[in-house]
Amino acid sequence: MKKIMTIAAVIVAAGFVTSAAAQELTGTLKKVKETGSFTVGYRESSIPFSYLDDKQQPIGYAMELCMRVVDAVKADLKMPGLKVNLQPVTSSNRIPLLQNGTIDMECGSTTNSVQRQQQVSFGPTYFVINVTAAVKKNSGINTFADLNGKTVSTTSGTTSVPLIKAYEKTKDVAVKEIYGKDHAESFLLLADDRASAFIMDDILLAGQIANSKDPAAYKILPESLRQEPYSMMLRKDDPQFKALVDKTVGAIMKSGEIDKIYAKWFTSPIPPKGINMNFPMTPPIREAFKNPNDKGVQ
């Protein structure tokens, strides 16, 4: 009996020691320290946020900001040799992969919504988009109302899906939705005339159009279904890592360095084909840079 008590005491004591050590680092930073690696989730065709270049390397505006966070992690943990893994994710697997620890941060075109904040956390807003539609110029479609009775494509697993359904209900417009499994596929449905419109975030539409065979054939409708903030996605309840992300990205925004990074990806030719998104900073984006925040859309 005495022996058992001693063993129990040792176990309890050991428990105290480990928990005391764990208080220094928690969540993602602790995991990174222990495994010696950090995994960034990227998107393969979210131009110009996160996409593959001609060498199949993920690049983009969000990737550039995320790499600055990775540098901050290296400095913070004093691990210059930290192994950085890059893992492609899709609209529908990004949240589970983040939650189960496959990726430590998602860098792409993810909408920061209040609903998603119940599952995950977000860094500072780095872009603000309008959900709208791309159509062919020769289609004669100029407003959402013109889409009545037409087929529209969208990408499954995105916030556009419930938005279209809500719009149909409030405006008494009936459309037939077909789904692509990624933005390139949804755009292909529009390009092939199998859908009259592709409903998605304006900047992603601009990216698909700029990359298409004939960019002059498409236009983006001026109407907006909703404005949404974009940000990098982090695991929930991980204050240490979130503070580091907020500090790093916030400093880039406040110092004005963000203007240069923005110009590089949105108003200059970008790899691999040298296309230009031609998407100057809008007032809501300027506002987000002035006051870095992680407010989600309802």
User: Using CB under 8 A as the criterion, which residues of the chain lie in contact with other proteins when the complex forms?
Assistant: 91-92, 95-96, 115-116, 118-119, 151, 156-157, 161-162, 165-166, 169, 176, 178-181, 185, 188, 192-195
* Closer by beta carbon to other proteins, 103 or else 270: 103
Cis peptide before 48 (omega within 30 of 0): yes
Tell the smallest beta-carbon distance from residue 202 to other proteins (Å).
21
> Please, where are the H alpha helices in the chain?
2-22, 27-35, 61-77, 94-99, 160-171, 183-191, 202-211, 239-254, 257-266, 283-290
Tell the smallest beta-carbon distance from residue 75 to other proteins (Å).
33
* Closer by beta carbon to other proteins, 184 or else 285: 184
* Closer by beta carbon to other proteins, 193 or else 257: 193
Tell the smallest beta-carbon distance from residue 272 to other proteins (Å).
22
* Closer by beta carbon to other proteins, 218 or else 262: 218
* Closer by beta carbon to other proteins, 151 or else 227: 151
CA dist 8 and 80 (Å) reads 40
Tell the smallest beta-carbon distance from residue 168 to other proteins (Å).
8
Burial label for 149, CB within 10 Å (0-12, 13-18, 19+), is exposed
Cβ neighbours, 10 Å, residue 124: 24
268-275 contact pairs (CB < 8 A, 24+): 270/47, 270/48, 271/53, 271/54, 271/59, 272/53, 272/54, 273/211, 275/210, 275/211, 275/215
Tell the smallest beta-carbon distance from residue 71 to other proteins (Å).
31
Tell the smallest beta-carbon distance from residue 28 to other proteins (Å).
20
CA dist 232 and 282 (Å) reads 20
Pairing of strands 83-88, 37-42: parallel
* Closer by beta carbon to other proteins, 187 or else 289: 187
Q: What is the DSSP letter of 221?
A: -
* Closer by beta carbon to other proteins, 26 or else 151: 151
Do 235 and 28 contact (CB within 8 A), yes or no? yes
- Locate 292 and state its tokens: 């870095």
Q: What is the DSSP letter of 143?
A: S
Tell the smallest beta-carbon distance from residue 66 to other proteins (Å).
22
